[in-house]
Structure 1
Amino acid sequence: MKLLKNILATVDFSPLSNKVIENAILFAQEFNSQVSLIHVIEDDDLSPNMKTVVKENYAKKLQEYANKVKSEGVTVNKTIIEFGAPFERIIQEAQNEDYNVIIAGAREASKGDSYKLGTTTEKLIRKNQIPLLVIKNRGIDHIKKIVCPVDFSDAAQRALKNAITLAEHFNAELYILNVFKPIDIFSKRFEVDNAAENKRLKATQEKDFASFLDKFQLKSIKHKIEMREGNPHQEILQFIEENKIDLLLMGTTGKSNLSRILMGSITEKVTREVPCNFITTKARDITDSYFESNLKSIESILNAARVLYKNKNYEKALEKYTMALKEYPDNIPVIIGLMETHKALGNDNKVTHFRSYAKEIVKRIWGDEYLEKFNL
């Protein structure tokens, strides 16, 4: 089984950087990972000579953190000093290398701050595609309690997959939380029984919650399932406080998302106020272990789809490939299968769409040079 192999720890030399390093060591020791450290210098207008002096100075400081990581028996892959906008350079490094997770600190917000977590961290949450572990200013020796709020969306599904993986490795208790938000409708023209309608809606949501959880294997971990009623972000924060949660996992887009680059509104509200460390997931899983543990399942679906395609049963093949894509959105063989099937059905627009999607994934994970290898 592949572990969480590569961690990118961001360092700004503030006191919070020590917490970032401590958590990088914690995850690296648990998953047998290697760690890279990056510091980005924002002032890009320095003279070449001054840049050299500044870079050498920060390189020495960064090496001190690297030595601390090594002293804990963890491999340091490399240390990186860059000039430019921090979030851009961090994302660029993360995309160029095969990192499983980025670790960044969340500074204490001042009253009136637009960026409650710090400019760099909030922009990483919004624009980065790799799982992001955000560290709050609190010590943690071990992860004992994890919570994953879900709204049944694809983003929530991905977050829960990652939460299960982490709960297994840390032997932590996983809390799976869903919040029902009651409606309150007032109409002068119609009589509305809010209580009866909310009872009906809640019963439907409870069934949807149960169906959502049926997709996951939970028997191997300690877990609790809870449904609450009220304002979602307030209930999530209250649950975290009451249960002394160590780690929160949330998808960055859910039922309330407006675009791919925006956080879901509930996730945004929670992560800005939550007292514990948290991980946001978007387009990739934090480890490859979920995929590998279900490798036989995806191979079975692909083989069935290919047989259907070969027999010219294109509609059924399309159903199989679509089902596989929901589980494995970054799987290139699945996307190529969709392209071939849509081509056979004469759906040229769909072929173009999935080719663009495949190119985006290949460039993000492997780089432009691999496009030709995938015939894209």
Structure 2
Amino acid sequence: MKNILVATDFSPEAHHAFEVAVQLAQHTGGQLTLLHVLEDADGAGGAFSTVGGPVSGHSIDQIFTLKLLETTKRRMHALQAEATQLAPGVPVQDVVEVARVGEGILAAIERCEADLVVVGARGHGATEHFFVSSTTERLIRLAPCPVLTVKHPELAFKVQQIVFPSDFAEDATEALAGLRRVLATFPDATLHLLHIAGGASDHVAQQQMQDFAQQHQLAHVVVAEVAANHTSAGIEEYTRRVAADVVIIPTHVRSGLSHFLSTSIAETVATHAFPPVLTYHFAS
């Protein structure tokens, strides 16, 4: 998590994501790329640095777009200055993509070779900003790197409580590599292995969680089970109960496997749960 891309539309939610991204870059000794996507109505496309002209693609020759770019320059430079104050020494660069928002973010992830993309999100029904649920959900489905979704202020982002929900079936082991990367970044955090039961307590599931922790030598582990009609609701309930700092939800690149690892559940939790939610893909 050293090459961090944070996408911003300058909304409050995007600023929350920016603050978390700056703190993560400082914690990991990484670097930060600020990204803003100007909606492309004509399909021109391209990427620009706010210190000069186009990085690639076609030049912008429309007056309206030029004025938007000038405004964006000022805003991006202000964020760079703020990042310097928050985390002196963290390298920060900025990029402006001219594209559809979703496509622009995905293109920037590839171009910057990002290890992590951080975005702000509002819940369903929001229409004011770019990064409403549909854009976030699309990134969760398509981004080649982990996506961290932030919805609320995190002025002191200290990861002490990590929630990892799963059904702990065989494919959960395949998702372990992504979890280990997070645990290596926050080695002293408590890891909550969470199972959502549809009805009565499932003693088999509890034993599976214990075996999972022992088999993979996971430290600082708490096993927990919540009864809920919907998996996403159970995850949200538990994260509130333990004041989770981050929820980790892996999703399989192929559908039809464990219901716990479906992108639809990840998307719902990412846009509804209070703490930041980290999603990533894995393949078996």
With structure 2 as the length reference, what TM-score do the two structures score? 0.78
Q: 1:106 to 1:266 in 2, by over 3 A?
A: same
Give CA-to-partner distance per residue, 1:341-360, whole Å, 9 cap, x none.
xxxxxxxxxxxxxxxxxxxx
Distance 2:194 2:101 in 1: 34
Q: What's the counterpart of residue 279 of structure 1?
A: 278
Give CA-to-partner distance per residue, 1:312-367, whole Å, 9 cap, x none.
xxxxxxxxxxxxx85xxxxxxxxxxxxxxxxxxxxxxxxxxxxxxxxxxxxxxxxx
> Is 2:28 the counterpart of 1:31?
yes
Give CA-to-partner distance per residue, 1:123-158, whole Å, 9 cap, x none.
111221210000112334122211110123577446
> Is 2:235 the counterpart of 1:218?
no
The one-letter amino acid of 1:106's match is A
Structure with the bigger RCO (C-alpha within 8 Å, sep 6+) is 2
Q: 1:12 to 1:111 in 2, by over 3 A?
A: closer
Q: What's the counterpart of residue 12 of structure 2?
A: 15
**Greater share of strand:** 2
Q: Secondary structure at the match of 1:252?
A: strand
The one of 155, 161, 168 aligned to 1:152: 168
Give CA-to-partner distance per residue, 1:95-128, whole Å, 9 cap, x none.
2332110000002443899x99433212111221
Q: Contact 1:236/1:270 (CA < 8 Å) preserved in 2?
A: yes
- Matching of residues 1-376 of structure 1 within 5 Å: 4-45=1-42, 48-50=61-63, 51-71=65-85, 72-110=87-125, 117-141=132-156, 142-152=158-168, 156-157=172-173, 160-170=176-186, 171-182=188-199, 202-219=202-219, 222-231=220-229, 232-253=231-252, 257=256, 263-283=262-282, 326=284
Unaligned runs of 5+ residues in structure 2 are 45-59
Q: How well do the aligned residues superpose, as a CA RMSD in angstroms?
A: 3.2
User: Could you tell which deviates more after superposition, 233-242 or 136-145?
Assistant: 136-145
The one-letter amino acid of 2:75's match is K
Q: Contact 1:108/1:116 (CA < 8 Å) preserved in 2?
A: no
Give CA-to-partner distance per residue, 1:256-293, whole Å, 9 cap, x none.
747xxx9534333333321111100114xxxxxxxxxx
1:255 to partner: Cα distance: 9.5
Distance 1:224 1:159 in 2: 18
Q: Contact 2:253/2:281 (CA < 8 Å) preserved in 1?
A: no
Distance 2:225 2:153 in 1: 28
The one-letter amino acid of 1:226's match is A
Q: Contact 1:145/1:245 (CA < 8 Å) preserved in 2?
A: yes
1:178 to partner: Cα distance: 1.4
Q: Contact 2:8/2:14 (CA < 8 Å) preserved in 1?
A: yes
Give CA-to-partner distance per residue, 1:25-71, whole Å, 9 cap, x none.
11111100000111001143397132333223212211211122123
Unaligned runs of 5+ residues in structure 1 are 183-197, 284-324, 327-376
Distance 2:91 2:237 in 1: 38
Q: 1:268 to 1:21 in 2, by over 3 A?
A: closer
The one-letter amino acid of 1:176's match is L
1:207 to partner: Cα distance: 4.2
Distance 1:167 1:225 in 2: 16
1:181 to partner: Cα distance: 2.7
Distance 2:189 2:222 in 1: 11
**Greater share of helix:** 1
Distance 1:49 1:254 in 2: 40
Q: What's the counterpart of residue 51 of structure 2?
A: none
Q: What's the counterpart of residue 56 of structure 2?
A: none
Distance 2:19 2:170 in 1: 31
Q: What's the counterpart of residue 349 of structure 1?
A: none
Q: 1:245 to 1:218 in 2, by over 3 A?
A: same
The one-letter amino acid of 1:139's match is E
The one-letter amino acid of 1:218's match is L
Q: 1:230 to 1:121 in 2, by over 3 A?
A: closer
The one-letter amino acid of 1:173's match is T
Q: What's the counterpart of residue 55 of structure 2?
A: none
Distance 2:171 2:101 in 1: 26
Distance 1:95 1:153 in 2: 32
The one-letter amino acid of 2:119's match is A
Give CA-to-partner distance per residue, 1:158-193, whole Å, 9 cap, x none.
6554444434433322211112334xxxxxxxxxxx
With structure 1 as the length reference, what TM-score do the two structures score? 0.61
Aligned residues: 260
